[in-house]
Structure 1
Amino acid sequence: MAPGGEFSRVPVVDVAGLVGDRAAREAVARQLDAACRESGFFYVVGHGVDEALQNRLRERSREFFSLETEEKMRVRMALGGRAWRGYFRVGDELTSGKPDQKEGLYFGQELPPDDPRVVAGTPLHGPNLFPERPEGLREAVLDYMAALTGLGHRLMAGLALGLGLDEAYFEDHGTREPLTLFRIFNYPPPADPSLWGVGEHTDYGLLTILLQDDAGGLEVKSRSSWIPAPPLPGSYVCNIGDMLDRMTGGVYRSTPHRVRNPAPRDRMSFPFFFDPNFSAPVRPIDLPGRDRPADDAAERWDRASVHMFDGTYGDYLLTKVGKVFPELRSTVL
């Protein structure tokens, strides 16, 4: 199937074999490759992330969002500075210029004040803003990010193998020390059912690993229709981002998606972004035997070509983040 083509489902891949022998890893890699070419989205099971850790994260997160707004605002993003961390209210974040119907917490790799990247004022690097309550949220977030970073490395090794590359290719080209960002989102039931929690968009980096609750509401764009990606017990939903689209020359497309809360209660979502190092150049990969599709800029939600971009991942990321929180733009740019 051609990238960006027609599909009717999001495939499921058991990735347990990525920690097996060469034959097992290659078998998983073939399935990941087919999923990325078919839809750019796939569920993963057999991922090895502790269910008890997931539940601990969910429980502490629900406790935080149940607090009064005044208390949540004690860790608001305006206090996070260039690290781009903290809490935002419903409507504060924009997608394609429209307010999202969600509130959330932004986290990243926890860095001490004397880390060279922090000392240099590198955007999106620094300490996190952890609330005083609930107790245990800090530990749950950091433990979870460590587990998902390990999963991200395994999945990227599998994707490299599926592309016919050495398993260490992405580590050698920007992910040995990845830029990892983590979000916890809470979607209240919308007052207006026509409003999207998050409108149509693609993700910026290499790979998104999403933990959903059981509310549903995620939709993925096929060529002629929107396909639901409902919660699947024990799974993550993964999708590739603009930089993997760029690196593969469109062999893997960054597929648009959107979210609406269909439930009469809050919907929680936990996206983890595994991306190239901030200073890593993002260049096309030589993929012998792979036909590179035509640029799809005219069909993209933003009418922008990821293949015309030339620079580091940090350069690309900074062109995006200022549009998401315009009021905070000056703190990182």
Structure 2
Amino acid sequence: MSTPDIPLIDIAAWRSGDAEQRQALAVRLDAAMQDSGFFLVSGHGIDPGLLADIRAAAKRFFGLPAEQKEPYRTRVGGRGWLAKGAEANAFYGEAADASKADLKESLTLGRDFSTGDPEIDEEWFLPNVWPAEVPELERLSTVFMDQARALYDDLLTVLATALGLPEGYFRERAQRSPHTYNINRYPALTETGAAQEGQYRVAPHTDWGMLTILDRQPGYGGLQVQTRDGEWADAPYVEGALTINIADMLARWTGDRWRSTRHRVLPPPAEAPSEELISLIMFMEADMDQVVRPLDPPIGGGAVYAPVLAADYFRERAAAATV
């Protein structure tokens, strides 16, 4: 089995480095994006204590009786609580199996922003639904989302540099973009019972948008990445580092020079029946009125896709994942 190239990138070195250091980092990232589509980021400046506090607050929400969470219930793509069984991820173009829905529950939130376009704002910038029972979650999560957004800007700059584009190429096309912030709870085996054959905490899939910024906890039932030869490998974990992957829209934009890689979260493990994990996930997008056309070679990889409006693309993907 091949080993996926998933490097550790120190973003602080980009923020403070000279032109030579920045170029070396961008070249390294380009190689990883062609191989695995994943990398780790250290030096991001997001306080691990903040992340721990978010998890503690989220755990209090998830621990509420079902009837107290019910008023917050939403659909995939909405804002609020997604109960276990509400979402079934699958690889793009393959039908999701609703009978094997993902073994997770989520609190899904988003960017508090107005583009000034009423149609875009009404669909993509819905009001957040913060649980009144855990009032501190809004304050803590808002700080995290703002810091992750700043990191996103830096990462888009690095990625544009890696392609030899102007530094602001991607960043300027994502300033009015939504993001989705998911707090995913992966319950223990003692709660879910044994998974069905082919059922996962999150089924094999690719993400939809530009970049995903993930703060995860290590565990037996953790993240795996599909290698180029079709096998599955455990994603590396470095304490304090965030896991980043490019998603389908960015891969499409590069004409598949870069790889949006299938990944999955393993089902609750028999080896640790009490293992419960909470992931904090930021799905970062392009502007919804942005038309995405593959970059021409030699910058792009040569794959041919019809131009697509970002909003149309996301509507299709959200509908496919809904149970």
Normalised-by-shorter TM-score class: 0.7 to 0.9
RCO (CA 8 Å, sep 6+): is it higher in 1 or 2? Answer: 2
User: Alpha carbon RMSD of aligned pairs, Å?
Assistant: 2.2
Cα separation, partners in 2 of 1:117 and 1:265, compared to 1, 3 Å: farther
TM-score (norm. length: structure 1): 0.84
Greater CA drift, 44-53 or 133-142: 44-53
| In structure 2, distance between residues paired with 1:43 and 1:58 | 20
CA contact (8 A) 1:103 1:185 kept: yes
TM-score (norm. length: structure 2): 0.87
257, 266, 278: which is aligned to 2:263? 257
CA contact (8 A) 1:87 1:103 kept: yes
> Partner of 2:102 in structure 1?
100
271, 275, 279: which is aligned to 1:269? 279
Q: Identity percentage over the alignment?
A: 32
> Partner of 1:232 in structure 2?
238
Once the two structures are TM-superposed, the CA of residue 9 in structure 1 deviates from its matched residue by 5.0
> Partner of 1:18 in structure 2?
14
Runs of 5+ consecutive residues of structure 1 not aligned to the other structure: 296-306, 327-333
- 2:148 partner amino acid: L
Runs of 5+ consecutive residues of structure 2 not aligned to the other structure: 91-95
Once the two structures are TM-superposed, the CA of residue 325 in structure 1 deviates from its matched residue by 2.0
CA contact (8 A) 1:208 1:238 kept: yes
> In the alignment, does 2:66 pair up with 1:60?
no
Q: Which runs of 4+ in 1 moved over 3 A?
A: 5-9, 115-122
> In the alignment, does 2:284 pair up with 1:292?
no
| Secondary structure of the corresponding residue to residue 169 of structure 1 | coil
> Partner of 1:75 in structure 2?
72
| In structure 2, distance between residues paired with 1:25 and 1:315 | 35
CA contact (8 A) 2:294 2:305 kept: no
> In the alignment, does 2:206 pair up with 1:202?
yes
Q: How does 1:47-196 map to 2 (within 5 A)?
A: 47-77=44-74, 84-96=78-90, 97-98=96-97, 99-111=101-113, 116-118=116-118, 122-172=122-172, 174-190=173-189, 191-193=193-195, 194=197, 195-196=199-200
CA contact (8 A) 2:293 2:305 kept: no
| In structure 1, distance between residues paired with 2:241 and 2:118 | 35
- 1:315 partner amino acid: D
CA deviations over 1:259-306 (Å, ceiling 9, x no partner)? 114342211111111110111111112343x5726x5xxxxxxxxxxx
CA contact (8 A) 2:294 2:300 kept: no
CA contact (8 A) 2:256 2:300 kept: no
Cα separation, partners in 2 of 1:248 and 1:291, compared to 1, 3 Å: closer
Once the two structures are TM-superposed, the CA of residue 122 in structure 1 deviates from its matched residue by 3.6
Give the aligned length: 303
| In structure 1, distance between residues paired with 2:141 and 2:238 | 22
| In structure 1, distance between residues paired with 2:121 and 2:25 | 40
| In structure 1, distance between residues paired with 2:282 and 2:218 | 18
> In the alignment, does 2:3 pair up with 1:7?
yes
